[in-house]
Structure 1
Amino acid sequence: MSVFVSQATATHSDLPILDLTRFYDPETRPQFLQELQVLARDIGFFYLTGHGLSHARIEEIESISQAFFALDQTEKQRLSMDNSPHFRGYTQLYAENTRNIPDAREQIDIGPELPALPFDAATPLWHRLQGPNQWPTDWDEFQQVTTAWLRDLRRIATDLLHAFMLALKVPENALDAFVTGTPNELLKLIHYPKTELQHQLQQGVGAHKDTNILTLLLQDQVGGLQVQRDGKWIDVPYVEDAFVINIGETLELATNGYLVANTHRVVSPTQQDRYSIAYFISPNVFAGDLPVLQLPAELQRLATGSVSDPLNPLLKSIGQNSIKSRLRSHLSVTAKFYPAQYQEIISNPHRVVGGQYDA
């Protein structure tokens, strides 16, 4: 595998590596921002090193993740997301959908540990995304490690967002109002069991674009993540201690298509189980409509407008964007806590839902 730093040598079979320490150094920052500006538009995916998390910290979260999935199924089911209107907790194999097809993965979703917001028929539906997590019993280390990971990944993601803003020649804090205050962030510990389907692809995660601002993914050496480039699927191999960075549709919308959210998927492993840890940062639940940033004229000329996935259209309402994908992905939760929206989905799978609460 060939990996590289400069975007000038990028090919369709490789992704660039950016070292975040170059952003913190005044001498190397200008070149870092120039590379980020171009590669983020031309490729959309890249590896990030120099993030400040040690190899030991990475091994710790990976160990915690594997230990969780080794728990007895009864204990994992006790934490089922079906208990949570906030879409927090454990999802068993084939219980989450991408583009209406079940994904061959199990996972646990963890967010900031916050109280549920007061809620009635007049409250925007997406306010219900805030709430408490579900934790394994008698395992304080699990909560401590994952909570620390959320805190540190939020710092990295915010620094990277600031780098994006400077690379686009807008104020560093241009989108701070959407990521500070009450956070809307999510940590997913994910397990993809190996499959016996040797001669056909099984959907670990179906092809999709992320709707959030940025995704930071830590993956193991098993492989399976692929990004779509020019109509072809390109492997995204493992790079030690590096995060795979994925631009979300929210940034595509905010930059009027200068930045592009790429379509990606995970193919189920056939030789051994795969584990990954994904962190998603999204606008907070109180944010209003997303602004379109006023880019310099030379960048505006390259902005082609955002391209919405017709099967998961992007909306200007940040809150509605946040809730709609959750409603479609976790239908058992939707059926239990959002029955009106569930009926809309099953009666018309391509209709956008996620407005006011209507139980």
Structure 2
Amino acid sequence: MNAATLPIISMTSLESAAGLAALREAASEVGFFYLTDHGLSEAAQQRYLALTRTFFQLPTAVKQTIDMIHSPHFRGYNALGSEMTAGRLDAREQFDWMNEELALAPDQLRSPWQKLIGPNLWPSAMPSLKPALTQLQQTMSHITVNLLQKLCLALGVTSNALDHTLGSQPYTHAKLIRYPAQQAQQQGVGAHKDPGYLTLVLQDAQSGLKVERGNEWVNVAPIPGALVVNIGELLELASNGFLKATNHKVESPTGGIERYSIAFFMAAQLSATVPVLPLPSHLKARALGPSTDPNNPLLTDVGNNVLKGRLRSHPQVTRKHYCDDQLRHLLAKSFAHLPTNEICNECLA
């Protein structure tokens, strides 16, 4: 696949029936598309990518002061080889931030996902990072909420059919990502699907993102100014499988070239349960149920669906912050029905 064959959707086209039809086809047949005319200028994108490069150029000791190991909420810096996908270490360096919130006291926790709620970690050596990324978070949130409402219209339901799951603001999770050059091609991030409603990816000129189509992996070449959008598991659940959450991965760059990107994930509030939308009959007939993976079942309760991915991806954070007696009890109660114990053997023991 090249830039000409991956669907290109203009946000401005979604005011028309033809535009909504094109969106519906892209989201149901491919699960990935480019989004243009979205309101985040190419110049602004370049400024955010420049900020990303500046962050990763900070001294290692400075970045380690905000290492994710210090955050029970899975926020902060991850050095190369700190995150796992599909059971293997990823060759990427990254910084994660989410909604800025106050953490709950231990005696307030009723479900393990509530421990995801909390503040971000920001580097004091780079004070410009917090306001810039907070603004980006607001902009991306606006784009994804607008796009989610257009997707609802494309599915033949009201534009606000999923608004009640968002509340006053959606749950958001974003990453600054650096893929350093490798001697030989390897897993930058392994094959996976995203757990939320929608993902936006802002990528530099270096390719590497690949999407699974049938029995092959096809390249998602960067298009200047365009954001890459992919459908998440929650939309696959909400559409009973009509929309597709598609496997994707990133291969590490070689030849001395690095790749920088920013990924933004939007989901329902962690406390929400995803409904199945009442699709019109002609679409409902094509909705054959969400995909199933016995090692990674989809959960309609958003908090637990998000948490299981974080626990698996960051085992060092899991061991430090989720293995006390209280969390072991809550995890066992929430995840006892899952046929997988690799979330955290210590916590599920």
TM-score (ref. length: structure 1):
0.89
**Distance between the aligned counterparts of 1:43 and 1:80, measured in 2?**
36
Find the counterpart in structure 1 of residue 8 from structure 2.
17
Map 1:81-160 to 2 at 5 A: 81-120=68-107, 123-160=110-147
- Answer yes or no: is the 8 Å Cα contact 1:17–1:49 preserved in 2: yes
Residues 172-203 of structure 1: CA deviation (Å, up to 9, x unaligned)? 11111222325320110000010012xxx411
Match of 1:79?
66
Deviation at 1:117, TM superposition (A): 2.5
Contact 1:223 1:238 in 2 (8 A): yes
C-alpha distance in 2 between matches for 1:228 and 1:138: 40
- Matches of residues 281-296 of structure 1 in structure 2 within 5 Å? 281-287=266-272, 289-296=273-280
| Matched-pair identity in % | 43
**Aligned counterpart in structure 1 of residue 287 of structure 2, from 303, 315, 329:** 303
Decide whether aligned partners of structure 1 residues 190 and 349 sit closer, same or farther in structure 2, where only a CA change above 3 A counts.
Answer: farther
8 Å Cα contact 1:179-1:281 kept in structure 2: no
Deviation of the 1:308 alpha carbon? 2.5
**Contact 1:15 1:46 survives alignment (8 Å):** yes
Question: Residue 258 of structure 2 is aligned with which of 253, 273, 278?
Answer: 273
User: How far off is 1:22 after superposition?
Assistant: 1.8
- Rounded Cα–Cα distance in structure 1 between residues aligned with 2:191 and 2:343: 20
Letter in 2 for 1:76: K
Number of the residue aligned with 1:8: none
State the AA in 1 paired with 2:252.
S
Rounded Cα–Cα distance in structure 2 between residues aligned with 1:46 and 1:206: 20
Instruction: Report if the CA contact (8 A) 1:182-1:285 is conserved.
Output: no
**Per-residue deviation, 1:204:** 0.4
- Provide the residue aligned with 1:351 in structure 2: 341
1:325 aligns with 2:309: yes
Look up the SS of the partner of 1:339 in the other structure: coil
Give RMSD over aligned pairs: 2.3
Instruction: Give the Å deviation of 1:231.
Output: 1.1
Aligned residues of 2:2 and 2:219 also touching (Cα < 8 A): no
Contact 1:55/1:241 (<8 A) preserved = yes
Q: Return the alpha-carbon distance in structure 1 between the equivalents of residues 274 and 62 of structure 2.
A: 40
Distance 2:157 2:26 in 1: 18
Unmatched tracts of structure 2, length 5 or more: none
Q: Which residue of 2 aligns with 1:11?
A: none
- For the Cα contact (< 8 Å) 1:99–1:311, is it kept in 2? no
Give the aligned partner of residue 320 of structure 2.
336
Question: Conserved in 2, the CA contact under 8 Å of 1:226 and 1:264?
Answer: yes
Q: In 2, Cα distance between the equivalents of 1:36 and 1:316?
A: 24
TM-score of the superposed pair, with normalisation by structure 2: 0.91
Instruction: Please give the secondary structure, in 1, of the residue aligned with 2:158.
Output: coil
| Residue 113 (structure 1) shift | 1.5
Q: Note if 1:195 corresponds to 2:179.
A: no
- Post-superposition offset of 1:147: 0.5
CA deviation after TM superposition for structure 1 residue 2, in Å: 5.5
Q: Which amino acid aligns with 1:279?
A: F
Alpha-carbon shift at residue 230 of structure 1 (Å): 0.7
Distance 1:103 1:138 in 2: 27
Which of the residues 168, 190, 208 maps onto 2:192?
208
Give the deviation of 1:138 after TM superposition. Answer: 4.0
Tell me the equivalent position of 2:239: 255
One-letter amino acid matched to 2:11: L
